[in-house]
Amino acid sequence: MKRLLWLLLPAATLAVDLGSKRWILQTLGEGESLPVIKGFFYLTLNFNRGAIFGSLTWLPETARFAVFGLAGLAALIYFGRFFLAKGTSSWDRVALGLILGGAMGNGIDRLVRGAVVDFLDFIFGAWHYWTFNLADSFILVGAILYGLRLLLAPKAVHPQANG
């Protein structure tokens, strides 16, 4: 039962991501921008039809759908098994829950729209960072937490993902 309660974390992560995307889609049109901190942070609606940083956009749409679908499904199965395994630590569950929720948010975008909704837009002087979304942020924070756990406790072994 306690393991099932942990499902609230990826569910909440997914809900926050999808809610933010719904709001931005109702607020801005594609390419429109709203300054939050002028010259530094904007809300700018973009659609990423590729992978990370817009890569793989050269692939035909059906090939992208297949590649992203298979990769997403494989990630959900792989990380989901460890997330629900009996011996998984709370630290690992938080990290994996963020990764799972974010991956599901971007996966739903790809299924529904054929592209990921991005809107967080930062400019650092002359450098303009790629536009991203909350799902990307959740995945990154989860990966950092998971990486820190691996660095701080490298001898820890994954629990068997069968229970």
- 103-141 residue pLDDT tens: 999 989 988 998 899 999 999 989 998 899 999 999 999
Query: Residue 32 domain-assigned?
Result: no
* DSSP codes, 102-122: HHHHHHHHHHHHSSEEEEEEE
In tens, the pLDDT along 87-100 reads: 889 999 999 999 99
Query: Residue 160 domain-assigned?
Result: no
**Sheet of 116-124, strand order:** 33-37, 41-48, 116-124, 127-128
Q: Residues with catalytic annotation?
A: 118, 136
Pairwise CA distance, residues 98 & 139, whole Å: 6
Query: Residue 112 domain-assigned?
Result: yes
Is residue 96 within 8 A of residue 82, CB to CB? The reply is yes
The DSSP letter of residue 105 is H
Query: Residue 35 domain-assigned?
Result: no
Query: Residue 157 domain-assigned?
Result: no
* DSSP codes, 145-158: HHHHHHHHSTT--P
When the pLDDT of each residue in the chain is averaged and rounded to a whole number, the result is 86
Confidence of residue 29 (pLDDT cuts 50, 70, 90): very high
**Whether pLDDT at 62 is above 90:** no
**Whether pLDDT at 157 is above 60:** no
Rama region for 114: left / alpha / beta (φ>0; ψ in -120 to 50; rest): left
pLDDT for the residue numbered 101? 95
Helical H runs in 6-55? 8-27
Query: Residue 84 domain-assigned?
Result: yes
pTM exceeds cut of 0.95: no
Query: Residue 36 domain-assigned?
Result: no
pLDDT for the residue numbered 123? 95
Pairwise CA distance, residues 25 & 88, whole Å: 37
Looking at 43-47, 54-58, 120-124, 128-132, which range is the least confident one?
Answer: 54-58
Q: What is the extent of the structural domain holding 12?
A: 2-26+41-152
- What is the number of helices (H) and of strands (E) in the chain? 5, 4
Tally of structural domains, the chain: 1
Query: Residue 87 domain-assigned?
Result: yes
Pairwise CA distance, residues 116 & 49, whole Å: 6
Average pLDDT over residues 130-158: 87
